[in-house]
Every structure is written in C-alpha cells, then in structure tokens.
C-alpha cells in the first residue's frame, strides 16, 4: 500500500519468529492496515507479533485504534487470537519509541532492531547498490575504484518510506541548527522531512546546502564551522569522507552523521548499517592498485552533484590529418625513412623494445644529425659545469653514441673524467666529491635513470647530477613531469633533447604479433616441427614470426610485401620520400597519432571513461594503402576494433571487409590478410549476423587459397552458420 510501509524483522524474543511492522506517517486507516497484513500473511509465514507504528502527530488516532477492541481483535485474528500479539507504538519528535499499551518507552534494543530492519528493507527493495559488470567498474568521488556503489537517492522514492527513514535522523536534529551541509542534494528531501517531523522549526528552517562530496576539497568550500552547523553524508563504505572533513575543516565532529554505512571509523556517527544487505563486500582500491583496471575493465565516473554514473555512449572516430600534430611532424621529418625506427628489436640482452630508435646510426650520420648535435652543444654550454668529474652511461649503443658526442664537446679530454657504465656504477666505488653527468640515448620509462639516481646518492651534498637524455619516449607529459620531480630533488637537473611520446608496451602485454604467432603455431606438428597445413604464404610468415625476422606485416594475397605509395596524407607537408619508408616508419606514424588520441581523454579522443569509441570503418576506406590499414589494425586495441557494440557500426565494418576480401587480387584488397588475421585472432569483432556475410565469401570460386584458408579458420572458431552460397 502506498500510504503504509510494511516489513518483517527477526524478533528473537518471540519464539524466533518474524514479526510484522506496519508504519503509517499520515492518517491511519484500520481497513488499509488489515488489508496490508492479510496480503503479507497470505504470502509469508504467520508472524509472531504485529507492531503498528506512527508519528506523535497521529498519537490520538493511534491510541483510539489501540483501544478499539473490535479492530484489534480483527488484527490479532490474522495471526492468532491473542490480542497481546498487537503492539501500538508512537514515535516522538526526538525519534523515541513509546508503547501505548504501557505508556512507557519501548525497549531500546527492540527499537533499534525495528529501525535497522526497516532501513535494510528499503535499501534492498529500492536497490541502493549500483553493481558493475565484468566489462566496467566505478570511480567513486574519492577517486578510488570500486565494483559497487551506494546511491542513496534510489531509496527516496516513496514518501512513507522516507518518513520512516527520517525517524532514524530525528535524534540528530538539534533545535539550534542554522546550516545543514549534505554531500548530495538528493538527500535534502530526507533531511527536510526529518526537520518537519521534529517540530523544532515552525517559522524558519535551517539552510540546507550541498558541498558536492569530495569536490569541496578541490574548490575550498566555505563551511560555516560553528556549533550550529551539521553535516549529513549520504553513504560510505569506509568513513573516508567523514575523516577528510575532520582532517581539513573545523566542523564539529559530533555534528557529522552518515545516513547509510557498511563501515565507520572509530568515533564516527551513522544511522543505518546496511552491511547485511550487501551479499559481497564492496571492492574498493586506489587507482594504482585496482585489479579491475588490470583486467581491462572500463571505468565509469560517478559524476555530478547527484552521484550519477556517466551516460554510456558508443562512438566512431575518424582519424584525420589534423590529428598529426606539429611536434610529430618535426620528429618524423628528422627520423623517418633513414632506417632508424624499428619495432620489436632486441638491443640489449633479454630486453625487447617495441619502439626502438637507432640513436647510434643517427649520430653517425653527420649531415642528418647536424641539428641535433647543434642543440646538444647549446645544452652542454649551459649545463656542463666544471664540477662534473663523473660521467655515467647507460648500457646500450645509443647511450654510448651520445657519450661520444659529449667526448667531442670536451675536446677529447676524457682522461680528466671518471667514466662508468650503469652496470659498473652498481659495483664500483666512485669519486663522491664532484658532480656527475648521466647519459641516456633514449628512455622508455626512466627506470634506469632512477636506478642511477639511487646509486649516486652517495655524492657530496654540495654536488649535483645532470641527466642528459637524447630522446624520451615517456607516454605522457604527466609521466615526464613526475620523472623530473623524482630526479631533480636536491638541485639536480633532467635535460631531454627530443620527445616522442609513445604507448608503453610492457613485457606482459600480448601484442597483435604475439596473437598472430599463437594462431599460426597451432598448425605446427609438435613431433617433426613441420608446418602441416598452412598455405605457402602463411608457412613462410610463421617461420618469420617465430624467428623474429623483419617484416612487420603479412604480405598481400599475391605474396608481395606491403609498401607505402606516394601521397601519404600525414607526411604530405613534409619533405619525405615515401618510396624509402619502411613498414616501421609507417607503423610509428600511425601509433603516435592513435596514442595522442588516447591521451587526449576527451570526446574527440579514442579513450574516455565511460563511452566506447571504435575506429570508424571509414578509416579503412580513406586510408586504402594496405600498409596503412595494417598499421591501424596492429596499433589499435581490441576495444577500438570491437564493432559488436553497435549494429550499425558492425554492418559498416562488415561492408568494408567484404569489399576488401572481394578485391583481394588488386590494390584495393592488398591488406586483406591483415584484416582476416585481425578477425582470426579476435582483435577485430563484428556481430555474428555480419560475420556470416563475410565468411560466405569462402564459397567464391576464384578466391585466393590463403584468403579462403583464413576464412575457414575464422568459421571453425566461431559459432555462426555459414550459408552454402554467398550473399
């Protein structure tokens, strides 16, 4: 019934049977009460007792009802013939329960049981927990990541239930309140109801303001920190917001109250403990420790003053020329088409770099490196102090080549300096009375510089360390700034000559090449180590991938390597000969563009908190060189190629695939095998209905054997039914 709130609770004092509570905030109607009890008893077991509860404003009606024997007999007959099984309770303006039968306060333990059970019932009934799925999780206003989020506004949908919840708030309503602060305005209705039920504010009510949870600490919210101010927090699982208010404001601690909680810190006040309503604990961790992020679960921000999850959106992104920034143009003008850029190269033992730049070869070419050397000498003029006597070089060819340029700057007077490699620095004694220079040809994470920094802490307190880096590949400016802060403590200096931010491909990351290797390896005979069923093109490719040979991409279906044709849009304003471009040159170019789009973290970028963005199928029409298509496919994440999120996206991508596969023997289809490998390794996905259309092409009579082989592999690993004839 909308004008009654009925629930059950465990009343252990009565033969361990459950009892019924019927709460009405307004005029009590005996017929409605009887109907509500009848419905409940017809569904559930016979209760032990019935508690009819109302407000002090309805005390007279409640008293009359309790003294009307005909009505109490009707109520009791629903569960027993004992009139003592019916209890009528009035709630005072302070939230105290009074038994009208004895005209004395109700046992406090029983009162607390009733309030706790009612709060839990509303919490469960109105679904106060927002749950995530394996595909996404939440970012709380505190910044912590969690798999569940308590949203109190979900509970405040029924006036009668809100009035019941307000009974729990009444003990915290004081007569001298002037300012009431809430972490979300959605609970203002509940607080206002409690104020009205208290009867303490007949003329003017206290001002209720929302401080928007943790946002208050970002913009320094101006609290009135007086005894007349109270704070109500909607919900917590840790007591964190309460603790932060205590630490960063002078608000009175005993005036800060949390409405719903599963855990509070010592000394904190709460109203409804809802821990029993949560089947599992809420997983909540700082962002850096979040295992859900490591499982590639997407993030949903709990945003706004109402604590709403961001509205999910599905979007397509079309890569355009303006996405290739000026700083990227400068880098590729200097380093592209000279055999300097590589992918998955082992430069030092047991260390494979996904993005490797050959600094040594670059510096050997005097004409090519002239602008770089000029910039280096300017930096050394400014930063190389006479006090530097120890020079440490990282253990790689690029760092050694940069070291040789420093030696030239010193006019070959290297005997006046102590020269150490990073490995030697870890094991040898060195002069602690003078400053040091640390040389790195390129850095990916900065860990080796930090390692050198730890060892050089033994330097004299009056000395300093200069860190000279040729090229930084740190993914973001934030990480670059953090590395600077870590290294520059105590007056040290980090100098970076050139920056090329790139995604960090860590050792445990499964790349498109690793997936390809795994796919092809299933066709190897384990006993004779012979390829048993691969077409010739894939047989050769399998050996290349296994042996880490050059050739980033699959050949075209005619077994010719993918090459860049003239007119590459992103190099159009640069003085670059496209015919000299390696596959790695083009791959680096597309990776930098897509990396920048991810880092943007905006509606125009590839990566945002709670919307799925895929690469527009039009990208593959606009950039129709097979090598560019291959670069995009390999540089994209599986999520950016998951077209199953939207029917129209999937249909468009399937249309592109069909066109490319049908034209396998001409330029339009030269990237055909790369698309099929993306489908075979499940890096690219379309809906089953669209995949069926693609796989039906395997029935084409003139289809290339390698293309047909991959189509059949995709069909065998999927659950779609392939028509006997193509569409």
How many residues in total does the chain contain? Answer: 727
Per the DSSP assignment, residues forming a β-bridge with 439 are 393, 468
DSSP-based three-state secondary structure for 277: helix
Question: What is the per-residue pLDDT for 727?
Answer: 44
Residue with token string 């999780």: 137
Inter-helix orientation angle 647-662/688-695, to 10°: 10
pLDDT category, 349, cuts 50, 70, 90?
Answer: low
pLDDT category, 276, cuts 50, 70, 90?
Answer: confident
pLDDT category, 347, cuts 50, 70, 90?
Answer: low
- For residues 301 and 132, the answer to whether their CB atoms sit within 8 Å is no
Per the DSSP assignment, residues forming a β-bridge with 149 are 130
Residue with token string 């409940």: 40
Inter-helix orientation angle 536-546/512-521, to 10°: 120
* Greatest distance between any 2 Cα atoms in the chain: 113
- For residues 594 and 641, the answer to whether their CB atoms sit within 8 Å is no
Cα separation, 463 vs 453, whole angstroms: 13
DSSP-based three-state secondary structure for 387: coil
Question: What is the per-residue pLDDT for 617?
Answer: 95
Q: What is the pLDDT of residues 234-261, one digit of tens each?
A: 998 889 899 999 999 999 999 999 999 9
Phi and psi angles of residue 519, each rounded to the nearest 5 degrees, phi first? -65, -45
The three-point CA angle 15-18-23 to 5° equals 135
- For residues 328 and 174, the answer to whether their CB atoms sit within 8 Å is no
152-166, 273-287, 603-617: which range is least confident on average?
A: 603-617
More confident residue, 1 or 574: 574
Q: How many CB atoms lie within 10 A of CB 533?
A: 11
Averaged pLDDT for residues 43-67: 87
Of 714, 660, 664, 670, which Cα lies nearest the Cα of 692?
Answer: 714
Averaged pLDDT for residues 583-606: 84
Cα separation, 13 vs 106, whole angstroms: 14
User: Residue 381 burial by CB count (10 A; 0-12/13-18/19+): exposed, middle or buried?
Assistant: exposed
Rg (CA), the chain: 36
User: Residue 216 burial by CB count (10 A; 0-12/13-18/19+): exposed, middle or buried?
Assistant: buried
Cα separation, 117 vs 726, whole angstroms: 63
The three-point CA angle 327-329-334 to 5° equals 100
Cα separation, 90 vs 59, whole angstroms: 6
Tell me the two tokens of residue 666: 């001409």
Q: What is the mean pLDDT of the chain?
A: 87
More confident residue, 581 or 544: 581
Contacts of 268 (CB under 8 A, 6+ apart): 239, 242, 243, 256, 258
CA 25 to chain centroid: 44
Averaged pLDDT for residues 31-54: 86
183-197, 582-596, 608-622, 657-671: which range is least confident on average?
A: 608-622
**CA distances from residue 289 to 151, 294, 303, 485 in whole angstroms, order as listed:** 24, 9, 21, 22
- For residues 41 and 25, the answer to whether their CB atoms sit within 8 Å is no
Question: What is the per-residue pLDDT for 691?
Answer: 95
**CA distances from residue 638 to 516, 614, 683, 684, 685 in whole angstroms, order as listed:** 14, 9, 5, 6, 8
Averaging pLDDT over each range in 35-49, 283-297, 330-344, which range is the top one?
330-344
- For residues 151 and 307, the answer to whether their CB atoms sit within 8 Å is yes
Cα separation, 52 vs 66, whole angstroms: 9
pLDDT category, 724, cuts 50, 70, 90?
Answer: low
Cα separation, 431 vs 390, whole angstroms: 7
**What stretches of 382-432 adopt beta strand conformation (E)?**
388-393, 418-421
Question: What is the per-residue pLDDT for 141?
Answer: 80
Pairing of β 298-303 and β 284-285: unpaired
More confident residue, 1 or 243: 243
Its pTM surpasses 0.85? no
* Domains of the chain, earliest start first: 5-106 (no CATH), 129-309 (3.40.50), 358-499 (3.40.50.2020), 512-716 (no CATH)
DSSP state of 56: G
DSSP string, 141-177: TTS-EESEEE-GGGGTT-HHHHHHHHHHHGGG--TT-
Residue with token string 């999937």: 650
Of 108, 4, 120, which Cα lies nearest the Cα of 54?
Answer: 4
pLDDT category, 531, cuts 50, 70, 90?
Answer: very low
Of 474, 497, 276, which Cα lies nearest the Cα of 383?
Answer: 497
Residue 678 pLDDT exceeds 50: yes
Of 146, 143, 215, 147, which Cα lies nearest the Cα of 184?
Answer: 215
Of 273, 265, 262, 259, which Cα lies nearest the Cα of 246?
Answer: 265
Cα separation, 39 vs 8, whole angstroms: 13
More confident residue, 610 or 240: 240
User: Residue 549 burial by CB count (10 A; 0-12/13-18/19+): exposed, middle or buried?
Assistant: exposed
Residue with token string 């029917």: 647
The three-point CA angle 235-245-238 to 5° equals 40
DSSP-based three-state secondary structure for 392: strand
Averaging pLDDT over each range in 62-76, 208-222, 526-540, which range is the top one?
208-222
Of 355, 352, 362, which Cα lies nearest the Cα of 635?
Answer: 355
Cα separation, 531 vs 247, whole angstroms: 67
DSSP state of 726: -
Contacts of 649 (CB under 8 A, 6+ apart): 314, 316, 614, 617, 643
Cα separation, 690 vs 645, whole angstroms: 13
Pairing of β 269-273 and β 229-236: unpaired
User: Residue 311 burial by CB count (10 A; 0-12/13-18/19+): exposed, middle or buried?
Assistant: exposed
Question: What is the per-residue pLDDT for 45?
Answer: 78
Question: What is the per-residue pLDDT for 546?
Answer: 57
Question: What is the per-residue pLDDT for 344?
Answer: 80
Question: What is the per-residue pLDDT for 1?
Answer: 45
Residue 83 pLDDT exceeds 70: no
Q: What is the pLDDT of residues 646-667, one digit of tens each?
A: 899 999 999 999 999 999 999 9
Q: What is the pLDDT of residues 396-447, one digit of tens each?
A: 999 999 999 999 999 878 788 889 998 888 777 666 678 899 999 999 999 9
Strands lying side by side in the sheet with 308-309: 284-285, 145-146, 136-139, 298-303, 308-309
Residue 584 pLDDT exceeds 90: yes
Q: What is the pLDDT of residues 490-518, one digit of tens each?
A: 789 999 999 999 998 876 678 999 999 99
Question: What is the per-residue pLDDT for 70?
Answer: 74
């Amino acid at each position: 019934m909308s004008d009654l709130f009925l629930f059950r609770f465990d009343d252990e004092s009565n033969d361990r049977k459950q009892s019924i509570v019927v709460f009405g905030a307004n005029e009590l109607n005996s017929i409605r009460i009887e109907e509500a009890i009848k419905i409940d008893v017809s569904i559930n077991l016979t209760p032990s007792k019935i508690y009819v509860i109302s407000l002090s404003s309805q005390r007279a009606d409640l008293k009359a009802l309790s003294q009307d024997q005909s009505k109490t007999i009707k109520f009791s007959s629903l569960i027993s013939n004992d009139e003592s099984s019916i209890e009528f309770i009035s709630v005072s303006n302070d939230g105290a329960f009074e038994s009208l039968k004895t005209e004395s306060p109700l046992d406090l333990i029983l009162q607390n049981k009733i309030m706790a059970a009612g709060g839990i019932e509303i919490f469960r009934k109105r679904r106060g927990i927002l749950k995530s799925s394996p595909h996404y999780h939440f970012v709380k206003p505190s910044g912590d990541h969690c798999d569940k989020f308590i949203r109190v506004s979900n509970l405040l949908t029924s006036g009668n239930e809100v009035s019941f919840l307000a009974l729990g708030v009444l003990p915290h309503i004081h007569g001298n309140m002037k300012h009431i602060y809430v972490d979300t305005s959605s609970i203002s209705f509940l607080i206002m109801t409690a104020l009205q039920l208290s009867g303490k504010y007949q003329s003017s009510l206290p001002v209720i303001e929302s401080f928007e949870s943790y946002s208050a600490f970002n913009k320094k919210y101006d609290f009135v920190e007086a005894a007349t101010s109270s704070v109500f927090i909607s919900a917590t699982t840790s007591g964190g917001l309460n603790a932060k208010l205590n630490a960063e404001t002078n608000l009175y601690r005993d005036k800060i109250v949390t409405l719903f909680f599963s855990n509070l810190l010592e000394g904190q006040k709460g109203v409804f403990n809802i821990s029993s309503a949560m089947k599992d604990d809420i997983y909540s961790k700082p962002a850096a420790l979040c295992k859900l992020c490591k499982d590639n679960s997407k993030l949903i921000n709990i945003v706004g003053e109402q604590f709403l999850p961001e509205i999910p959106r599905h979007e397509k992104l079309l890569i355009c020329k303006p996405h290739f920034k000026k700083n990227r143009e400068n880098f590729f003008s200097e380093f592209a088409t000279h055999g300097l850029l590589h992918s998955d190269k082992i430069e030092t033992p047991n260390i494979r770099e996904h993005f490797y730049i050959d600094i040594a070869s670059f510096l050997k070419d005097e004409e090519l490196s002239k602008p770089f050397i000029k910039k280096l000498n300017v930096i050394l003029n400014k930063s190389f102090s006479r006090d530097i006597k120890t020079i440490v070089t990282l253990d790689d060819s690029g760092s050694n080549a940069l070291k040789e340029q420093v030696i030239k700057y010193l006019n070959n007077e290297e005997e006046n300096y102590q020269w150490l490699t990073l490995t030697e620095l870890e094991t040898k004694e060195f002069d602690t009375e003078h400053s040091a220079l640390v040389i790195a040809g390129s850095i990916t994470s900065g860990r080796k510089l930090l390692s050198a920094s730890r060892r050089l802490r033994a330097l004299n307190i009056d000395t300093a360390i200069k860190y000279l880096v040729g090229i930084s590949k740190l993914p973001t400016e934030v990480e670059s700034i953090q590395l600077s802060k870590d290294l520059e403590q105590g007056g040290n200096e980090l100098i970076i000559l050139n920056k090329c931010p790139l995604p960090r491909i860590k050792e445990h990351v499964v790349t498109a090449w690793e997936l390809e290797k795994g796919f092809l390896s299933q066709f190897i005979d384990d006993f004779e180590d012979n390829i048993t069923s691969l077409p010739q093109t894939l047989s050769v490719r399998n050996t290349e991938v296994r042996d880490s040979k050059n050739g980033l991409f699959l050949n075209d279906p005619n077994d010719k390597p993918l090459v860049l044709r003239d007119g590459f849009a992103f190099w159009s304003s640069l003085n670059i000969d496209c015919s000299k471009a390696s596959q790695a040159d083009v791959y680096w170019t597309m990776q930098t563009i897509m990396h920048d789009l991810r880092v943007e973290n905006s509606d125009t970028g590839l990566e945002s908190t709670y919307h799925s963005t895929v690469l527009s199928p039009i990208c593959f029409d606009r950039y129709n060189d097979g090598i560019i298509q291959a670069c995009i496919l390999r540089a994209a994440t599986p999520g950016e190629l998951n077209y199953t999120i939207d029917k129209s996206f999937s249909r468009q991508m399937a249309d592109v695939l069909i066109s490319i596969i049908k034209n396998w023997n001409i330029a339009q289809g030269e990237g055909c095998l790369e698309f099929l490998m993306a489908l075979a390794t499940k890096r690219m996905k379309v809906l089953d209905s669209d995949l069926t259309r693609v796989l039906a092409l395997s029935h084409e009579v003139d289809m290339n054997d390698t293309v047909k082989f991959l189509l059949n592999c995709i069909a065998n690993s999927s659950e779609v039914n392939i028509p006997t004839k193509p569409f």
